[in-house]
Amino acid sequence: MIKKITNKDLEIVNELLQNIDRNEKVSIDMLEHPFFNYVGYTIDEKIVGIIKYSLIYDRIEIDYIYVIPEYRKNKIGTKLIEHVIDVSTRKKNIKILLEVRRGNVVARKLYESMGFKEITIRRNYYGNEDAIVYMGGESDG
Ligand SMILES: CC(C)(COP(=O)(O)OP(=O)(O)OC[C@H]1O[C@@H](n2cnc3c(N)ncnc32)[C@H](O)[C@@H]1OP(=O)(O)O)[C@@H](O)C(=O)NCCC(=O)NCCS
């Protein structure tokens, strides 16, 4: 089930985040930050997936999503994105933006399966790899 990350979860969340492709460490200050939102997906109370999104006035940006490898392909990523789409709908259909490496075919398929559309390419954003910027949200279907 969907669960808001709290300071009790910080240790486990930071362990999970060691597997993502950036130096991200969540602190209590970040959990309390007015723009940042950390949401997990739990099975039997164990956090098996996490999404971070920023809600900045009239935009949502998905910063990252991660599902523990042995729990993948069970629609957990889909449920985490659906949660963010629900937030955007409740905020009167504000747009959701995200950016992903061109070569991350799995994540791109996930976003595209949820109606996200490619809007820009940031050439060589990751050194020698492009970033693809996607936009989604309830009103883009
Ligand atoms: C991307 C990620 C979050 C997907 O999580 P998930 O829970 O496995 O995704 P879902 O089960 O909801 O899959 C939804 C869709 O994504 C696509 N997809 C997921 N895994 C896939 C795979 N291994 N190969 C191809 N497509 C795949 C499919 O279109 C799938 O729909 P389908 O099951 O009907 O075929 C997960 O693979 C992950 O954590 N990857 C590492 C972190 C990462 O790259 N994050 C994105 C950048 S921050």
Span 76-132, pLDDT tens digits:
999 999 999 999 999 988 999 999 999 999 999 999 999 999 999 999 999 999 999
What number of other Cβ atoms are within 10 A of residue 19's Cβ? 9
CATH of span 2-136 = 3.40.630.30
Answer for the pair 5, 13: CB distance below 8 angstroms, yes or no: yes
Least confident among 34-38, 54-58, 110-114, 136-140? 136-140
Taking 50 as the threshold, does the pLDDT of residue 68 lie above it? yes
Q: Please work out whether the CB of residue 97 comes within 6 Å of at least one atom of ligand 1.
A: no
Q: What is the pLDDT of residue 23?
A: 79
Looking at this protein, which amino acid is placed at residue 36? F
Residue spans of the domains in the chain: they are: 2-136
Mean pLDDT of all residues in the chain? 94
Taking 60 as the threshold, does the pLDDT of residue 140 lie above it? no
Tokens of 39: 């949401």
Looking at this protein, which amino acid is placed at residue 2? I
Helix (H) or strand (E) holding 8: none
Half-sphere exposure in the Cβ direction for 46 (13 Å, CA): 8
d(CA 46, CA 13): 11
3: which strand partners? 40
Ligand 1 center to 66 CA (angstroms): 9
Atom of ligand 1 nearest to the CA of 110: 16
Taking 80 as the threshold, does the pLDDT of residue 141 lie above it? no
The predicted model scores a pTM of 0.95
